[in-house]
Chain A
Amino acid sequence: MSLIEVKDLEKYYNRGKGSEFHALHGISFEIEAGETAALMGVSGSGKTTLLNILGFMDSFDEGTYRFDGEDVSAFGERALAAHRNRSIGFVMQSFGLILSQTVYENVSLPLLLNGDIGFGEIKQRCADLIGEVGLKEKLHSRTDELSGGQQQRVAIARAMANGPKLLIADEPTGALDSTTAGEIVDLFLKLNRERGTTVLIATHDERVAEACGRVMRIEDGRIVSDRRL
């Protein structure tokens, strides 16, 4: 069953104004649940715009987007927020952590926002996740004291906190050295393998893309190739 199903997706910025920019042109594809896919393209090709839409962080102008069988265009603000919290995990090149807070505080944030989880369970789940990404001994360290690779692991643990169906990573290895980048990619693959989480990674790096089972290329807001490895 398709987890993501987009058809004829169009996205404009400043639509109807002099500075109108057509960012996405009729994007159509499907991603199956449990799949790992890479989205490749140069800067400005529309990768991040597409990921933002798929991650409920941005809206689209035309076309349809069905997530896990549900029509996303029917979602209100609350439903979108709930899906960002529970169904999607977002990992970014710049990590997106609150640096003045500890590893535990960062990872617990989506769990606190979930609303259905007690403090005891939050504590336990955070400890498990942080252990899983190999930072058990850093549980109460401030995130600004960690290396880039460690910060990205914290970001991954946070993204996985509510057990999302889809993990979106936007250039997750862009700020890391090749060894650390390899470890991070391995971590994504491990999460996909062990938890069945669907992983979608936007990347410039061919090696990262090859580690995924599928590579989609985007140019000027259009999917120009889509191949399974």
Chain B
Amino acid sequence: MKFLTIAKSFALRSITGKILTAFELLIGLLILFHTVNRLADFDLAARYTERFSGIAAYETFDDEAKAFAESHGTPLGAAYQLQLEPGGGMDEVSVFLAGKELFLNTPLELCAGEWFDPDGTGLAAVVPYSLRNSFPCGSTRTLDLVGMGREKVYISGVLSSDVTFANSGFVNFGSANRVILLCDPNGALEPDPTIGVYSYTLIENADPAELKKAGAVTVGMMAEAQKSERDHTLAPLWFFTAALFVLFTCGYLGEQFLSLSERTKTFAVFYMCGAPRRTCFFAQLAADLFWLIVPFVSALALAAALGVRVRPLGLLIPFVYLFAGSCLLSLALLHYVNKQSPVQLIKRRFYS
């Protein structure tokens, strides 16, 4: 208790500045949580599309090209609606087979789990938020699909809201029509292409000249094309995330470094009053941690309130970075104070 009171002496120096830097850190953390979540989604999408490695992809625009694609290859659309057998108690639930670009373009966010089972290759599904209790994340359920029979589905994730399908995409739309999104990395399901909405087609063993004549535009090898697209999107995202993070944390670290003189003198005053160097060191560190934990806890609470998903990595990286910075600074301070006479440190102008 007394140690905390002593640490408070360090923690409450120039409190206005500390509150401001804590607030700045909080905003930076929220942005980081969000972007790390998006980056993790991209990463999963990348792993998903790697399964298409070596397969050529074509983009089809008009009906003629689409018809050609349907007759010559396996279309992979944004989504295919699958019919559930009636009477299963899921009348208000729709099932869509999600195409690969969903993972690159979707504005949807997960509040738990992943877009597909990272370790498995079978059917996986993400369920709307309102079905999270009926379809717990990590469980395996059976769906009765019209024309396909009973399929075992691994529930890999939960959407942060309920969605519906409109205008060739999924949108947040209350719980009017709850949609389960199926991911089929192995292509085990054979959906009816006529009820699908798609823009890409995977065609194997087709004559490129014939395809070109039909109006299909080559976009290259699927996985490679995706990698290029991903890199194009990810590189700036990583850059701006890192830049934003540095920007929002430089206030905290800067405040620490700029207050070095004040900290050494406080350290010396404590030493003069009978605190062993170890107590001074840990009191200083505890004070730094306090001003680190406050914005972290606040950011976590705000993220929960705003529905921003916090990935463990998004939490770990900034904490380790800032904690390591604080430890390093405290050690540097200890080293510096050990070399100086505490009286000389106190005598400097700051205190008089």
Residues of chain A touching chain B, judged by Cβ–Cβ distance below 8 Å, are 48, 51-52, 57-58, 77-78, 81-86, 90, 92-101, 105, 109-110, 112-115, 158, 162, 170, 175
Contact = CB atoms under 8 A, between A and B. Distances in A.
9 closest A-B pairs by CB: A85-B274, A94-B352, A81-B276, A96-B346, A84-B274, A110-B273, A113-B274, A94-B347, A109-B273
Contacts of B271: 57, 81, 84
Given A92-B347, A170-B343, A98 B275 contact: no
Interface stretch (B2-10, B120-128, B140-148): B2-10
26 contacts: A57-B343, A58-B341, A77-B276, A77-B277, A78-B276, A81-B275, A84-B273, A85-B273, A85-B274, A86-B274, A93-B347, A94-B346, A94-B348, A96-B272, A97-B351, A98-B9, A98-B269, A109-B6, A109-B273, A110-B274, A112-B2, A112-B6, A113-B2, A113-B274, A158-B273, A175-B352
Contact of B5 (A96, A99, A110, A112): A112
A48 B346 CA distance: 13
B342 A57 contact: yes
Nearest to A94: B352
Given A100-B13, A109-B270, A115-B2, A95 B275 contact: no
Nearest to B8: A105
B74 interface: no
Contacts of B270: 109, 113
Given A48-B343, A52-B341, A57-B342, A95 B273 contact: no
Given A57-B271, A84-B271, A113-B2, 5 more contacts: A85-B274, A92-B343, A92-B346, A110-B273, A113-B274
B279 interface: yes
A36 B283 CA distance: 36
Contact of A113 (B6, B341, B346): B6
B266 interface: yes
A141 to B, nearest CB: 16
Interface string B267-297: 0111111111101000000000000000000
B14 interface: yes
B90 to A, nearest CB: 63
A94 B351 contact: yes
B174 to A, nearest CB: 52
Contacts of A48: 343
Interface residues of B, number: 28
A114 B352 contact: no
Interface in B317-352: 341-343, 346-348, 351-352
Contacts of A170: 343
Interface in B1-30: 2, 5-6, 9, 12-15
Contacts of A90: 272
B343 A52 contact: yes
A77 B281 CA distance: 14
A113 B273 contact: yes
B9 A97 contact: no
A52 B340 CA distance: 12
Contacts of B272: 57, 84, 90, 96
Contacts of B279: 81, 113
Contacts of B6: 109, 112-113
Nearest to A49: B341
B294 to A, nearest CB: 18
Nearest to A90: B272
Contact of B269 (A85, A86, A96): A96
